[in-house]
Amino acid sequence: MTQEFNVVIERDEDGYFIGSVPSLHGCHTQAKSLDVLMRRIQEAISLLS
């Protein structure tokens, strides 16, 4: 069964992308590129869901 989550992506003043999942408390990560951010946020989701 596949679950879907909304991911909020922002960019900070240093150029890092920050991703968070509002429906999963504490689920957030950061990376220099969107590709790496998406891999990291998928890993964070798998650990918390």
Residue 17 lies in a domain: yes
Residue 21 lies in a domain: yes
Residue 3 lies in a domain: no
Q: What residues does 37 pair with on adjacent strands?
A: none
Non-local CB neighbours of 45 within 8 Å, separated by 6+ positions: 5, 21, 24, 27
pLDDT digits (tens, 9 = 90+) for 22-48: 999 999 999 999 999 999 999 999 999
Domain range for residue 31? 8-48
Residue 2 lies in a domain: no
Residue 31 lies in a domain: yes
Residue 24 lies in a domain: yes
| Mean pLDDT of the 14-19 span | 98
| Mean pLDDT of the 6-16 span | 97
pTM over 0.85: yes
Confidence at 2, pLDDT banded by 50, 70, 90: confident
Residue 35 lies in a domain: yes
pLDDT at 35: 98
Domain count, the chain: 1
Residue 34 lies in a domain: yes
